[in-house]
Each structure stands twice: as C-alpha cells, then as structure tokens.
Structure 1
C-alpha cells in the first residue's frame, strides 16, 4: 500500500499562480493507493492566485476511482456562499468507516491569529487488513494550541485502541450502531507544523502507561542514520526562512516491520510543501 501526504498550498506554486492540474499530475505519477491532502480550498478568491474553484470537487473528479472524504475545517460564509479550507482523503481501497474530529482550539492571547483544525480518520480495507488512516494539519502560530491538538490526537488514539480491545461488531443492533471493527493499527500523516526537535514532536511519540499501540516516526524507522529530508523551504518560496521538516508519517509499532520506504518528493514546486510517500508491504 502506498500513501501520499501533501500540503498542497491550495495549488499555488512558486510563481503565485494556481495550477491544481500540476498537483494532480504529480499525484498521478506517484500512483498512491491513499491520498491525504491539506490546505484544499473552495471559493477563496482572496487567497494568492485566486482559489475560487471548488478544489475538493476538482480533486475528487480527477481521481474518479477513489472514494473521497472531505473535511473543510474552516467554513466562512460570504454572500451565503461557503468559503472552505481544510483536509481531504481519497482511497482506492474500500472505506468502511469515516470519523471527523475537530481538534482543540484554546484561546491564546499571545497568538490571536489561527483557524479551526481537524483530523480525518478513515478505516480502510487494505491488502494487509483493516487499518485506520488519519490526516491532519495542526496549528502554526500558537504553540499552546498545537500542543493541545497533539495531546488530543494522543487521546483519540488511546480511545481507538481501547475500543478495538473491548468492542465486537453486533449485527443485531440498529443500523447506525453497526460500525464494524475499527482497529488500533493506524497511520497518522499530514502537516504537523512542528520540527523534529520540538516538544510537540516528542509529546506525540512519547511512550506512556496506556494500552494504546505506541506511535513511531516512519522516517526514523526506515532511515535511522540519514538526515531528515526537508518537506518545506525549497524552490525559493518565501516561507519558511530555511528548509526544514514539517510533514510526517507516524504509525503504530505493529506496522513497523511492514514499512518498505519513506521518502520526500523534493522535485516539484507545485506547492510550498513537498509530497511525502509511505510504502507498506
């Protein structure tokens, strides 16, 4: 199974023009089974390059063989029209459950800017068995909010692992309760807006005393002796000031032995972030 995660910067390249077809071309060449995207926009003409088109619809149409799941965490109405901005997941494999979570957004007087952040979870029938694939885009400006979001993700992970331990599907229950099995095994990916030396990173992978399956950084698992490839700051974009890593794959340790490759596709300048690729046997 190949999973690609990419903050697409609403398709705005280094020339300030929106070319969503360039995003689509890169994704098609990578040939993923699951696509996880952040910063997808709809009806946002004021964004650089004019993101007025419904990119959720464009991307779903471009990958007709995939099942799309959208999560516009920011939805602001102007003239009764929703301006949407958020995450999207597309899966070639069958999805049998979807859960959408709004992450904490505690008031931070030191950082009045910001927007709601969310997490998509899809339970996918992958070739190696059911797995939860989750994608997110955490707060950038406020360390307080970002840490709260990291801790909530850890809580949701514990909750899923505990439910997997105690819950058995019951086909005799009313249809809304017939969720089927939801495993603890999971792949978390996205733009976490922290660097590998940050306390947020350490908090996410820190072991605890719960029954939750430990999370491991797929890059360090596959490339323990290689410097981490930057996922932003390439190709002359204004942000960030220097190239660094903001985008990751974290997975439960029961999947660790199945990881065959993790890499950053550094060639494309279609976004201010680079696509990251995870291959699992």
Structure 2
C-alpha cells in the first residue's frame, strides 16, 4: 500500500501559481499511490492567493477517476457575496481502496487571544487495505498557537484510544441498512499531515509518547520516517523553496506516524525534496 501525505496549499507552488492538476501530477510522479492525504483543500475561497477554483474537492474527484474522495471541513465561514458559496478550508483523502467507516473529528480550539487561529479537523477513513484494515487519519494542526496545537495532539491520542476500545469491545449493528452500524474498528492506524510542529518539538514528542490510561492496550505511534532511517534527522518539509512565506527559514513539520503493530509491514518512508509544487514537501509511505 502506497500513501502520500501532502500539504498542497490549495495547489499553490513555491512561486505562487495555483494549479491543482499539476500538483496531482507531481504526486503521481512520486508514486502510484493507493491513498492520497491532502491538507489545505478549499471550496469557495477564490480570494486566496493565486485564486483556487470554486470547489477543489470536486476538482479532485474529477481528476482522480476510480478514487473515492472524502472531505472534511475545518474552517467554515460565510460567503463574501450573497450568491457565492461558503468559504470552506480543510483536508481530503482520495483512495482507490474500499472505504468502510468515515469519521470527521473537530479538533479542540481553546481560546488563545494572542494568536490568530482557525477551527481544525482530523479526517479518518477505515480502509480495507492489503494485509488488513487500517485507519488512515489526516490532519493539519494550528500554526500560531502552541496551546491549541498541544490540545489537538491530546485529542488525536484520545481518538486513538477510543478506536482501540471499539476494536476490543465492538457493538453489533441494529440492522443491515440503518445508521446504527457495527462499531468494530481496526486498532492499526496511520496518522499523517502537517503538524506545524518541528521534529522533536514538545508537540511531536507528546504525540509519540507511550499512551496512559490504556486499558485496551492500544499501540503507541512511531514516526515512519525515523523508523526507516534510524539515527537520522528528517529533511526540511516546509519552506524549502518558498522562502518568501517562510522568511524565518525552513522546518520539518510534516509527518507520517504509524502504530507500533505496523512496524513489521513498514517498507519505506521518504520525503520528496525535489518538487516545487507547494510550500511543503510530500511524504511517501509504503507498507507491505
């Protein structure tokens, strides 16, 4: 199974030009992916730099025949004109694997008057992958506020513990067709995205720390890149080519984490440092 996680900044490249199909072409160059996890996809946000299309989620679906495109909106704001669509900003998962349950988790947003911020979301899809079902979660944590970022990390860990409880104590479906479906979920998980947290920062360390209050023995998370490159520090993933937006310098903040039980299936994890198609670099994960 090949997965790419990428903050594509609504298809805006390092020079400021927006072309989402070009971005998808770069993703296809990197790998024949089964799962594409994207952050910063928009609808109704044509006012953003470069002028993205009116509905990038529809644009993804049209450009990826044979894939299921799942969306999750974080910021959802009023239109700028009466006839315009709402301004929506969030994440997407595109996959050609069968999709079971989908969950959209609103992340905590504690008040922090010192920092600009927006509502954030984690999008989770249970995929029937080769080798067994797996939960794929893609997210984009707050940039300006450490307080909010840490709260969001804690929430991601809590969602994982909840999933482990469903895996250990599943409830049956009420019937075959209603919304009260069976609650069983796989404990194995991939959590990826733009964490807006530097490698080995407080938020990074908190996410991979052993899980407390864990009666159902949920496996903790490991960084797939450091597992694939023992003893090495990951390359920068943001601000490598777009030095205007990242005037303070590049940082490594885009990660793919996997639960410890997936370690034996980890084939490789690489960061593509060549593409200029976003202000972030994509991360590729391959599982046997």
> Per the shorter chain, which TM-score range?
over 0.9
Where in structure 2 are the equivalents of 1:115-130 lying within 5 Å?
115-130=118-133
Where in structure 2 are the equivalents of 1:96-245 lying within 5 Å?
96-111=100-115, 113-170=116-173, 172=175, 175-179=178-182, 181-209=184-212, 210=214, 211-240=217-246, 241-245=248-252
C-alpha separation in 2, matches of 1:99 and 1:199: 27
Unpaired segments ≥5 residues, structure 2:
none
C-alpha separation in 2, matches of 1:119 and 1:133: 10
C-alpha separation in 1, matches of 2:211 and 2:21: 44
What is aligned with 1:39? 40
2:79 corresponds to 1:49: no
**Which moved further from structure 2: 235-244 or 98-107?**
235-244
Contact 1:97 1:179 (C-alpha < 8 Å) held by counterparts: no
How much has 1:176 moved relative to structure 2?
Answer: 1.1
Structure with greater strand share of residues: 1
Deviation digits for residues 192-225 of structure 1 (CA, Å, limit 9, x no counterpart): 1001121111111111341221111111111112
TM-score (norm 1): 0.95
Deviation digits for residues 239-271 of structure 1 (CA, Å, limit 9, x no counterpart): 332222110011110001110110011111110
Unpaired segments ≥5 residues, structure 1:
none
How much has 1:174 moved relative to structure 2?
Answer: 6.6
SS in structure 1 at match of 2:179: helix
Where in structure 2 are the equivalents of 1:14-93 lying within 5 Å?
14-29=14-29, 30-78=31-79, 79-80=81-82, 81-93=85-97
What is aligned with 1:274? 281
TM-score (norm 2): 0.93
C-alpha separation in 1, matches of 2:68 and 2:278: 24
SS in structure 1 at match of 2:197: coil
What is aligned with 2:5? 5
**Which moved further from structure 2: 204-213 or 264-273?**
204-213
